[in-house]
A and B are shown apart, each in its own frame.
Chain A
Amino acid sequence: MAMTPDPDPQAPGAPDADTLPCGTDLADLWEHGEPQPDHRTCPHCRRALADLDQLHDLIGTALTQPEPPAPPSLADRIMETVRTELRPGPLLPLGRPEDDDWITESAAARVLRHAAETLPGILAGRCHLRPADGTGERPLPGTRLPRRPLALHLDIAITTDWTTQDAARAVRRRVARAGTDELGVTIERIDVTVADVIAPTGEPNGSSNQ
């Protein structure tokens, strides 16, 4: 099967260079990495494969050079810009109904996540606070949520030391206490989702890359 359905007008080389003198389609040959059974001794096929091997050898050599890490200054520059564009989220009511105290969702989330992470082997992910009687839709940034009880949704990742039920129960307890004692927000319902399983502390984690 000829592999030429791809219009690439800038492609260098003549189109018929894709067919070897023996009639083999070069794209197919390189894709499969070995000649068709009746071309096993064909010099054209072998030569074409040797060319590709040579290219791959060169790539292999090039890749033995370690990638230099990005200079720390690059990450610093990126974060400098990012921190001028923070997203604090909506304002949540604090304290008693007659008070006029508010906290941003991101600040509240920081406290609640931290409370969950005081448990060993648990990391916290997404953390949303919405009116418990609302639709759950994302409120507009900077808007004030009504002074009504909140519902919390928290994603967590757990190590295999935990069962999901035990982890969810323990997290719910810690987070509820932090909501009351540290924040003073009224959280009526806490939904915990175990979104990931992570390697136990001290072991390399498959998801971290560098």
Chain B
Amino acid sequence: METPGPAGPEPHRAAHPLEQAPDGLLAGRATDGDDTAFEILVRRHGGRLLALATRLLDNTTEAEDAVQESFVAAWRRLPDFRGDAEFGTWMYRIVTNRCLNVLRARRPTQPLDGLPEPAALDHQSSPALLAESRASSEALARALHTLTPEQRACWVLRELHGLGYEDIASAVGIGEPAVRGRIHRARRALTEVMQAWR
């Protein structure tokens, strides 16, 4: 015999109450296997993580691949996710790791004089650096190419994503003093480039 549920019809998808739910609650549900909760997390964090991956990789296709693989890896690893980190921080860590692996597999960091001409860069995929002055942006984008993958990751996470040193250390997998060192070297390299066109 069927007993009608007291709850009535399903809520409309457009106004899903979970859209307002905090990350921790959604991550807990996703850990239990609730794919709807996970989808809300994907849509909530996808834009920011794609921006990060694009800033690190300078290539839209590779960035989308990195974000996609990272979310799928996160779904698989959620049962072991103890909630000792915020979900967003945890995702930053997974995406950063994946991008660092891609960067390390590329050819070594180029010296300044060996840089490609700006026209060779993928402008469409450098939204972070689309400043008022296109020349400035291009110079900065080119300068970013002189950084090691770790310097680039630390600098982008700090200056463009506003992460604290502790979270960057965990995302990049190095100690906090090393993070400070990487960011300092990145700043030095970038200001040196800026002096050149001042």
Chain A interface (Cβ < 8 Å from any Cβ of B): 3-6, 8, 10-13, 17-18, 26-27, 30-31, 51-52, 54-56, 58-59, 61-63, 65, 67-71, 74-75, 77-79, 81-83, 85-89, 105-106, 109-111, 113-115, 117-118, 123-128, 138, 155, 157, 174, 177-178, 181-182, 195-196, 198-199, 201, 205, 207-210
Which among A63, A155, A181 is the interface contact of B25 at CB below 8 angstroms? Answer: A155
Least Cβ–Cβ distance between B101 and chain A, in angstroms:
16
Which among B6, B22, B34, B44 is the interface contact of A198 at CB below 8 angstroms? Answer: B22
Q: Is the CB of B43 within 8 A of A182?
A: no
- Given known A27-B180, A62-B160, contact A115–B7 (CB-CB < 8 A): yes
Interface residue SS majority, chain B: helix
- Let me know if B109 is at the binding interface, CB within 8 A: yes
Closest 10 CB pairs of A and B: A6-B181, A207-B22, A70-B46, A87-B33, A126-B28, A61-B131, A51-B191, A125-B28, A125-B25, A69-B47
Interface string of B126-165 (1 = CB under 8 A from A): 0111111100110010000011101100000001100000
Q: What size tier do the contact residues of chain B reach?
A: 35 or more
Which among A5, A27, A75, A85 is the interface contact of B76 at CB below 8 angstroms? Answer: A85
Closest residue on chain A to residue B147 by CB atoms: A12
Closest residue on chain B to residue A17 by CB atoms: B188
Which among B25, B44, B148, B151 is the interface contact of A210 at CB below 8 angstroms? Answer: B44
